[in-house]
Amino acid sequence: MIKLKDLLNEIAWKDDTLMLSARRKIPISSSIMKKVIGDIDVNSFHITDIKNVVKLKSLVGKKKSISTFNAYGAEASELKHGIGIQTRGGILVSVEGKLLASNVSDIMSQPDETGRRWVANSTFNKMFGDVLGSSAIESELSKNKIWKEKYSNLSIEQIKALTNKEKAEYIKIYIDTLTKMMIKNKDIIKKVFELAISRSDVYWNEIVLSQIKVKDALIFSDSVPMKFVWDKHPEHNKIDTYGIKFLSKKQIINIVKKVTTGKVIWGKLSDMVKFIKKRGGNPYEPKFKIGIVK
């Protein structure tokens, strides 16, 4: 169970965790998901940029999570052009880590300040049915005497006005309750998560990992994001939107090498499919039929 004293220390930051709890999001931290699905090691991929790639080092071996993918479909135009979901992109890294959650489509997970990730209960409801839907959550929370007496009918404004001790108690009861619900339904959760590994819809799958290792990297030298970074890009843009000086090929490679434990490849967007397939991913490959035109 989550410790109350730890939550009291967390309240100093913004109310993100409190509001995520109040909006009935599902917590998927490393400690929670280990109880639900155990240890499942997954190889996956993450697109980042020159400004954020060094930040990956702070996640290595830690319980903070990262959103990744290892399969994408025909409509994944951002990924196919080397563009990140929350970064500019231009750099693809292969990672290995412990599975926290996965789905054949983007589950729109979001982190709080502690690195704990949350998913909308509507997403889990679609994935697992009513057992983790809004009604089930409210029903389970109402079984807690303290919750029923103090927190069950509060508005968002009333929740924000709680004392720090009450906020911590609110979060603790909520997270503990959701943890129990997921453990109770661990078989179906594990089955759905495992089926989503290396599978996607027409866009991309989402695989949330923790305790990652950053292995190899592919730098898309011809991608749009790199024209704001690499001084020799074919479409070199003189406007420095990164707030840093333009970098040489050697400088870019050396920055990426600080994060990776394996190869750093200076390549092109056309190398993406081969890079991902070689490392166990499932990229989209269009199939063309060659025939005789009558």
Q: Say whether pLDDT at 238 is over 90.
A: no
DSSP-assigned letter for residue 119: E
Q: Buried (b) or exposed (e) across 28-61, using 16+ Cβ within 10 A?
A: bbbebbbebbeebebbbbbbbbbbebeebeebee
pLDDT score, position 186 = 95
Structural domain count of the chain: 1
The answer to whether residue 118 is domain-embedded is yes
pTM: 0.85
- Of 68-72, 123-127, 162-166, least confident by mean pLDDT is 123-127
- Band (pLDDT 50/70/90 cuts) for residue 244 is low
Are 91 and 50 a contacting pair, CB within 8 Å? Answer: yes
Q: Say whether pLDDT at 243 is over 80.
A: no
Highest mean pLDDT among 83-87, 109-113, 227-231, 261-265 belongs to 261-265
The answer to whether residue 288 is domain-embedded is no
Cα maximum dimension of the chain: 78
Residue type at 266? W
Domain that holds residue 165: 1-278
**CA 133/CA 136 separation, integer angstroms:** 5
Give the residue carrying structure tokens 């997270």. Answer: 175
pLDDT score, position 220 = 97
The answer to whether residue 7 is domain-embedded is yes
User: Which H or E element spans position 185?
Assistant: none
**CA 84/CA 4 separation, integer angstroms:** 37
**CA 191/CA 103 separation, integer angstroms:** 11
Are 25 and 120 a contacting pair, CB within 8 Å? Answer: yes
Burial class (CB in 10 A: 0-12, 13-18, 19+), 283: buried
Question: Residues 256-273: what's their mean pLDDT?
Answer: 97
Q: Say whether pLDDT at 57 is over 80.
A: yes
Going from the C-alpha of 75 to that of each of 50, 145, 289, the distances in angstroms are 25, 48, 20
Q: Say whether pLDDT at 4 is over 60.
A: no
The answer to whether residue 284 is domain-embedded is no
Nearest CA to 91 among 222, 201, 207? 222
- Band (pLDDT 50/70/90 cuts) for residue 239 is low
The answer to whether residue 283 is domain-embedded is no
- Band (pLDDT 50/70/90 cuts) for residue 9 is very low
Question: Which residues, at least 6 apart from 6, have a Cβ–Cβ distance to it below 8 Å?
Answer: none
Question: Residues 139-150: what's their mean pLDDT?
Answer: 96
pLDDT digits (tens, 9 = 90+) for 152-200: 999 999 999 999 999 999 999 999 999 999 999 999 999 999 989 888 8
- Band (pLDDT 50/70/90 cuts) for residue 284 is confident
262-266 long-range Cβ contacts below 8 angstroms, 24+ apart: 262/94, 262/215, 262/216, 262/217, 263/216, 263/217, 264/216, 264/217, 264/219, 265/216, 265/217, 265/218, 265/219, 266/219, 266/221
pLDDT digits (tens, 9 = 90+) for 199-216: 888 889 999 999 999 999
pLDDT score, position 292 = 45
**CA 193/CA 190 separation, integer angstroms:** 5
Residue type at 215? K
* H-assigned helices in the chain: 4-10, 16-22, 30-37, 77-80, 121-128, 134-141, 145-150, 156-160, 164-184, 186-196, 249-257, 272-278
The answer to whether residue 169 is domain-embedded is yes
Residue 249 tokens read as 């090929």
The answer to whether residue 286 is domain-embedded is no
The answer to whether residue 245 is domain-embedded is yes
Are 192 and 127 a contacting pair, CB within 8 Å? Answer: yes
